[in-house]
């Protein structure tokens, strides 16, 4: 019987060691779970902050693009009006020169 008791005691010791090893491994995994859960929360917080920042930057960008488009429209309209003024000035100058020549011929 004492041989069976020693065998049983050996099994018991081995079982205790296995249980302790499993508990140690479980604690390691638990430590990793806690660390990764904390990292996940930090990433979610960062994502929230970046999402809000992206929305603000997108809004500011859209406003600046609209302003730039308005400047483009104003520049185009001003250049078109200026071109008409130049054309009118050229026509007026031609009429003035022609009339001046006519007046000169009448005065001769």
């003035």: which residue's tokens?
96
Share of the chain above pLDDT 70, in %: 96
Query: How many Å apart are CA 82 and CA 76, to the nearest integer?
Result: 10
DSSP 8-state class, residue 39: H
pTM as predicted:
0.62
User: Tell me, what's the pLDDT at 79?
Assistant: 98
Sign of CA dihedral 5, 8, 14, 18: negative
Instruction: Note the pLDDT tens digit of each residue in 10-56.
Output: 899 999 999 999 999 999 999 999 999 999 999 999 999 999 999 99
Give percent of the chain with pLDDT exceeding 90: 78
Residue 85, pLDDT > 90, answer yes
Mean pLDDT score, 85-99: 91
- R_g over Cα of the chain: 45
DSSP labels, 36-88: HHHHHHHHHHHHHHHHHHHHHHHHHHHHHHHHHHHHHHHHHHHHHHHHHHHHH
Terminal-to-terminal C-alpha distance of the chain:
155
């Amino acid at each position: 019987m004492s041989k069976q008791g020693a065998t049983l005691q050996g099994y018991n010791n081995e079982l205790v060691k296995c249980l302790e090893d499993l508990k140690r491994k479980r604690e390691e995994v638990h430590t990793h779970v806690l660390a990764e859960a904390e990292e996940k929360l930090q990433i979610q917080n960062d994502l929230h902050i970046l999402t809000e920042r992206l929305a603000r930057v997108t809004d500011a960008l859209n406003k600046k693009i609209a302003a730039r488009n308005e400047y483009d429209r104003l520049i185009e309209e001003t250049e078109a009006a200026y071109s008409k003024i130049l054309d009118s000035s050229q026509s007026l100058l031609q009429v003035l020169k022609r009339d001046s020549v006519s007046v000169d011929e009448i005065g001769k």
